[in-house]
Structure 1
Amino acid sequence: MKKKTIYVCSNCNYESIGYMGKCPECTSWNTLVETEVVTKKGSSSSSKKVSKNSATIKRLKEIETSNSDRIVTNIGEFNRVMGGGIVRDSVTILSAKPGAGKSTLLLQVTDELANLGFKVLYASGEESESQIKSRADRILKNIHQNVWVVSDNSLDNVLEIVEKIDPDIVIVDSIQTFTLDDFPGSRAGSPTQTMECAYELVKIAKNIERPRAVFLVGQMTKADELAGVRALEHLVDTVLIIDGESGEELRTLLTTKNRYGSTGEMGFFNMGERGMVSIDNPSEYFMTQREESSMISGSALTVVREGTRPIILEIESLVSPSFTPYPSRIGESMRKEQLNTLISILEQRGDIKLYDKNVVIKTTGGISLKEQASNLAVIMSIASSVFQKSIPNDTVFISDVGLTGELKRVPSLQVRLREIDRMGFKRAYIAKGSGKVGSFKSLQIIECNILKEVILDCFKKR
């Protein structure tokens, strides 16, 4: 064995034999970390390596796939984000801020898998076995005998246990706390240890004769990014991120990469004392249920798409007099620049003056407004607050609004309309010329050209 010191970029995994302040690959400053690697004597990059086991080859056309390759749990939102269930030979990494619920969610998934008859190994490098047991006692009704737990920072020991008990699912919490004995000069969490540990876990997951599903917990940086090298995200099949503030109950599970499903899919959970509870009907969660007799001004409904799913969302606004030369523009759920643009459109094209008014916008549930399809609803909620007139609870707005005041068509309109028709809404305002929208049970489609038409139709008739 021969030790060699190299410098590895913690951002892009670039390697250098000498230290540099700036990485020449990703141009990041002060990211090269000193790392010791061990090489075997007599090894040479020019020497040919012959694999003992020859690779199998198949025609792509002859490879069979079916839904039976997936493990479906009883956690609906988790299944959705995973693309319909857990692929049996997949590697998934889950990351979040400290305290967001990473270990809690995986412990619940562990319980679900054990109840389905699968043997699960939960390996932790951060918590003791008693700590894991205490959490399990709090959030699980009964602990299944198919769940095995090991608290150890050595991945070599964990791999030995995998060979011994032969689990179907392996959970490693977290990957940055484990080490391999073959790299004694590298500390836990270094690029070398993290990547080499991940490579070993990918090997046991992708074993053709004995495939296993592997879940890795990844630590998050202060910049809310997955800690370590970017190559770790490329290596795994699925990357999941839990988003949510520690003081709030709502947790959002987002997939930023999924080789077996849709990237950008979202799942919603309610975090409580008994763990994370799946919110199977988000539309009811993200709007306020009101009686017709208690309608309130400043509220408008729209339909946003989170991944492949349409969600009915309530947008609330508050317009108040300003006693300063510069009125406030606060958008808790949207960018300030976007809010200022929509206010300017409402002033110029809707003849509603807001130069002396404070405007505050937020969404019920705290979902960020990223789609242009919600712009008309934002404007109408502000107009409702200005006029002190409520919008009927059975009305939904689905359109973008241009700087000219014209309504613009939005993608996946039929999917959005089918969702509000299913939920029993009666009226939907859309852009004229949006194409064929189909027929609905009781939903009336109102097509308008410009913003002023929508304002007059909503408020001047009443």
Structure 2
Amino acid sequence: MGKCPNCDEWNSLEETIIDSKKGSSNGRSTVKRKTIKKLSEVTSSNSDRIVTNINEFNRVMGGGVVKDSITIITAKPGAGKSTLLLQVADDVSSQGYKVVYASGEESDSQIKNRADRILRKINDNIWIISDTNLNNVLDSINDIDPTLIIIDSIQSFTLDEYLPSRAGSPTQTMECANELLKVAKNSEKPRAVILVGQMNKNEEIAGLRALEHLVDTVLIIEGENEEELRALQSSKNRFGGTGEIGFFGMAETGMVSIDNPSEFFMTKREDGEAVSGSTLTVVREGSRPIIVEVESLVSNSFTPYPSRIGENLGKDQLNTLISILEQRGGFNLFNKNVVIKITGGLRLREQAINLAVIMSIVSSVHNRGISNDVVFIADVGLTGELKKVPSLEARIRELDRMGFKKVYVAKNAFARPVKFDKIKVMELKTLREVVKDVFN
């Protein structure tokens, strides 16, 4: 019918699909009502976890995969989301749990090719389904009865009840996520659900922000495709571990857990060996201290504008530190190129590294190395004074445990008297005092 019989307008009619399965107006009578309780009468219980053999994944998840939970993981294309989750599926299945891996983006053969490349042996407890129809996936879940369900990715699935809305639309994405939430939170059969979320150009999960509120855990993989290092960070975790970071190395066999990051971010040298331009500091990633190496190279510039390059370090931060060194430290760098690099490619965000960066530049200018058992942990103000940093005691105890001999910190940096076993703590007031003490 091209013409509306009511308003006599042409081409104004719209097709509407009515689903008879959605229920009638008195549908409330079919829903079982839950009883209200006093908070004091509720029995608390610890959620059951599946502890994998991937230590860095366990750290970020707060100790393992919680059975009645829903998690979403996002990253740039090619960062390793599907690879990591296939390794998790293999680990969980090897413990006797059933796993369903549903992909709306890859075929069965593509998933099999990846599995052949990164897994030694494919476990019989892993089932895969390549389909964009979530109704079919839910039917498969009922048939297999898995403990872990992986959905790759949530924006590629649709539910028949909400057609013709396309895959990736806010309606389909949220309704698919809600259906999987019901699967995860089933009181009779709790399951762990991990969703892959596509990342938009703003490096956020594509779609409504409500998707992040719905899930229990939000994981983000950081790292460039051409680099080996990958950082898995938890920006939200209702079961503990919010803010934790796990480190992985991308290899041909998949994501390799870096269980001792300090060794990864330092260059191994002989005791007492000193290389100009190299200093050590301690950063806090999540709840643990990590020792990292800062390298610098200072060279003559033959252009009006010397280069200031800070790999894994903000350009503004580097320019500020160079200005402090020139004005408060008495160094002339107006005709020098300065390049800063962090061993291992870790992106540094803390102010606690500032003294180490400056001392690395000083070491490069003098062409004199600093012993590799000396560490610098302090911020440096515009006045040239050293500033205290948070969690200093925990950082130094990690150094003491690993056998370092000396650490430079700000004067009066401790709120209370603290004693360490072997390491010597040098509390100094200004940058000039540190340079004078290190280089005599």
What TM-score does the superposition give when structure 1 sets the normalisation length? 0.88
Q: Who is 2:426 aligned against?
A: 446
Name the SS of the counterpart of 1:64 in structure 2: coil
Match of 2:288 among 268, 286, 309: 309
Q: Does the CA-based 8 Å contact 2:272-2:372 persist in structure 1? A: no
Equivalent position amino acid for 2:305 in 1: Y
Q: For 1:59 and 1:210, how far apart are their aligned partners in 2?
A: 25
Structure 1 position 155, deviation (Å): 0.2
Following superposition, the deviation at residue 363 of structure 1 comes to 0.5
- What is the distance in 2 between the residues matched to 1:45 and 1:404? 73
CA RMSD of aligned residues (A): 2.2
Tell whether 2:436 aligns with 1:456.
yes
CA distance in 2, matches of 1:59, 1:380: 59
CA displacement at 1:65 relative to structure 2: 2.8
Query: Which residue number in structure 2 is paired with residue 126 of structure 1?
Result: 105
Gapped regions of structure 2 (runs ≥ 5): 1-14
User: Structure 1 stretch 392-401 or stretch 245-254: which is displaced more?
Assistant: 245-254
CA contact (8 A) 1:37 1:183 kept: no
Distance 1:354 1:239, change over 3 A: same
2:272–2:371 CA contact under 8 A, matched in 1: no
* 1:408 corresponding residue in structure 2: 387
SS at match of 1:117: coil
Please, which runs of 5 or more residues in structure 1 have no aligned partner? 1-35
Q: Which among 421, 424, 432 is matched to residue 403 of structure 2?
A: 424
- Report the counterpart of residue 380 of structure 1 in structure 2: 359
Task: State the 1:246 CA deviation.
Answer: 1.5
Q: 1:53 to 1:46 in 2, by over 3 A?
A: closer
TM alignment of 1:294-373, pairs within 5 A = 294-373=273-352
**% identical aligned pairs:** 65
In the alignment, the residues of structure 2 paired with residue 127 and residue 177 of structure 1 have an alpha-carbon distance, to the nearest angstrom, of: 10
Q: Secondary structure at the match of 2:146?
A: coil
The superposition leaves residues 431-451 of structure 1 with CA deviations (integer Å, 9 ceiling, x where unpaired) of 111123632221111100111
User: Which sits farther off after the overlay, 133-142 or 435-444?
Assistant: 435-444
Residues 81 and 267 in structure 1, CA contact (< 8 A), matched pair in contact too:
yes
Question: Structure 1, residues 134-166: CA drift from partner, whole Å, max 9, x if none?
Answer: 211111112111111111111000111111111
| C-alpha contact 1:38 1:182 (8 A) present in aligned 2 | no
User: How do residues 83-102 of structure 1 correspond to structure 2 at under 5 angstroms?
Assistant: 83-102=62-81
Q: How far did 1:290 drift?
A: 1.2
SS in 1 for 2:284: strand
Aligned partner of 2:412 among 408, 433, 441: 433
How many residues are matched? Answer: 425
- Helix, strand or coil for the counterpart of 2:408? strand
Cα distance, 1:292 vs structure 2: 4.1
2:376 corresponds to which of 366, 389, 397: 397
**Shift in Å, 1:273:** 1.2
1:272 to 251, 255, 274: 251
Q: 1:208-238: CA deviations, max 9, x gaps?
A: 1111100001111233221112111111111
The equivalent of 1:262 in structure 2 is 241
Q: Is the 8 A contact 1:119 1:168 kept in 2?
A: yes
Please give the alpha-carbon distance, in whole angstroms, between the structure 1 residues aligned to 2:304 and 2:145: 70
1:295 Cα deviation (Å)?
A: 2.1
Task: Return the alpha-carbon distance in structure 2 between the equivalents of residues 134 and 171 of structure 1.
Answer: 18
After the TM superposition, which residues 59-98 of structure 1 pair with which residues of structure 2 at under 5 Å, given as runs?
59-61=38-40, 62-66=42-46, 69-98=48-77
Instruction: Quickly say closer, same or farther: Cα 1:409–1:245, change in 2 above 3 A.
Output: same
* CA 1:221–1:396: 2 relative to 1, 3 Å: same
Contact 1:94/1:241 (CA < 8 Å) preserved in 2? yes
**Cα distance in 2, alignment partners of residues 92 and 72 from structure 1:** 15
Q: Secondary structure at the match of 2:174?
A: helix
Does the residue aligned with 2:345 lie in a helix, a strand or coil?
coil
Per the alignment, do residues 40 and 445 of structure 1 end up closer, same or farther by CA in structure 2, a change over 3 Å counting?
same
Per the alignment, residue 108 of structure 1 pairs with 87
1:150 aligns with 2:147: no
Aligned residue among 25, 31, 38 for 1:52: 31
Deviation per CA, 1:8-42, whole angstroms, max 9, x where unpaired?
xxxxxxxxxxxxxxxxxxxxxxxxxxxx986668x
1:194 aligns with 2:204: no
After TM superposition, give the deviation of residue 358 of structure 1 in Å: 1.1
The residue matched to 1:264 in structure 2 has which SS?
coil
Cα deviation for residue 60 of structure 1 reads 4.0
TM-score by length of 2: 0.92
After superposition, the Cα gap between the structure-2 partners of 1:47 and 1:283, relative to the gap in structure 1 and judged at 3 Å, is same
Give the direction of change, closer, same or farther, for the CA distance of 1:406–1:250 in structure 2 (3 Å limit): same
Task: Give 3-state SS (helix, strand or coil) of 1:365's partner.
Answer: helix
